[in-house]
Structure 1
């Protein structure tokens, strides 16, 4: 872990421009990141430390950190601290991939935590999504995916029990639901709906983000042949994720 710059070193990086103080703090921090002095996962000095080292008000420092977080340069984890963010992960907008493979392709480590794994009776909304009768058997899994120990996705998935009857017997810390389902019911069709949302309190806690931080929600349904297999909500912190797509005419 890099050694934090000394007080005089940090203050020496502040320019003397007439820009607002918070903007000068943002510029100083951004420069430390872009120069490689503060690499990904580097713990940024706390608000109190920056107030002491730079001589600015807590309000000024707080605004600079909030805006840098919204811009994706920093990650603020409740009760832990503020860290330099990894470059934003990207997902293809019109394709369905295994999140473990996406993370591995960036040279990073995937882990996950299974929060919920059980059976439910399909309510009206779930029955419509999976094209089944209300009250039919569905399996529900709620999993948090991590990239280098930072939470990047909540996967809230409902599965047609008739299509994957052994779903609840799987160890999803070793194999993702996507990988397993693609084995037992190979994907032939998918549907995406993308929304910007504010995560609720429970989701903020799982993602280790501040209340009110914008998130990206992908509602995904998949089919194998003509059979609906799964309906999922995938929630990503907006500061840690982006979508990309390409098309031609």
Structure 2
């Protein structure tokens, strides 16, 4: 950092040095614009530019209304297992919280009727919630559940347990289907995840069966910069999964 540098570059260098020396560890909060203005005696515009460029260069994540945080390597969730996101987050030593957006009982539209393998539309439960890791949104869960299989689903306190944990404890799961796609976020998803319109998302579509019937149809939406999907399994010599 030299006096010849523009002020915003001096602020950037200071923060990058702290990140690389681990004084600011992954996931830790970076000083706000107001704090940078006070500490460096700079304008708010200069502080904003420094944080914008650090975000664009991948050093930090800015979450509207929450703060700016040192970027962590993307968390991972398995495609081969039915994992509880709360346990994944806690295993990383972080805090899981969930915000319920809405819960309702609806009549299944044609695509959902087909997904549940029903001949006619039927009443289904719908739950939408946002999972957070250390206060930062990492997943939108849109889940539909067959009331005949889990009649008490909507009455559960999902601020203390996750839908996955409840369903696994309630019903045996004998088959899973996963489909993954990349998608740009809708305005509503941008708002719930605290991301911009240019941030791509990973979308995991999941169906699960119990005793031959579809119990739940879920869509899990992750900001691509905060999460990765992976699988690992043993194979035969010709590359086929081992049974």
Q: TM-score, normalised by structure 2?
A: 0.81
Deviates further, 205-214 or 100-109: 205-214
Deviates further, 176-185 or 154-163: 176-185
Post-superposition offset of 1:81: 3.7
Across the aligned residues of Structure 1 and Structure 2, the Cα RMSD in angstroms comes to 3.0
Q: Flag the 1:103–1:23 CA change in 2: closer, same or farther, 3 A.
A: same
What's the secondary structure of 2:143's corresponding residue?
strand
Runs ≥4 in structure 1, deviation > 3 angstroms? 22-31, 44-54, 56-63
2:56 maps to 1:67: yes
What's the secondary structure of 2:30's corresponding residue?
coil
Q: Flag the 1:148–1:52 CA change in 2: closer, same or farther, 3 A.
A: same
Partner of 2:29: 42
Partner of 2:192: 206
Deviates further, 40-49 or 128-137: 40-49
Post-superposition offset of 1:211: 2.6
CA distance in 2, matches of 1:97, 1:75: 25
Partner of 1:6: none
What's the secondary structure of 2:225's corresponding residue?
helix
Count of paired positions: 230
CA distance in 1, matches of 2:118, 2:9: 54
CA distance in 2, matches of 1:185, 1:165: 12
CA distance in 2, matches of 1:86, 1:38: 11
What's the secondary structure of 1:193's corresponding residue?
strand
2:165 maps to 1:179: yes
Q: Which runs of 5+ in 2 are unaligned?
A: none
Post-superposition offset of 1:201: 1.1
- 1:177-222 superposed Cα distances (whole Å, 9 cap, x missing partner): 1111112222111111111111111111111122321111111111
Q: Flag the 1:184–1:79 CA change in 2: closer, same or farther, 3 A.
A: closer
Post-superposition offset of 1:30: 4.2
| Aligned 1:1-249 pairs, distance under 5 A | 12=1, 29-39=15-25, 40-46=27-33, 49=37, 61=50, 64-68=53-57, 71=58, 73-247=59-233, 248=235, 249=239
Q: TM-score, normalised by structure 1?
A: 0.79
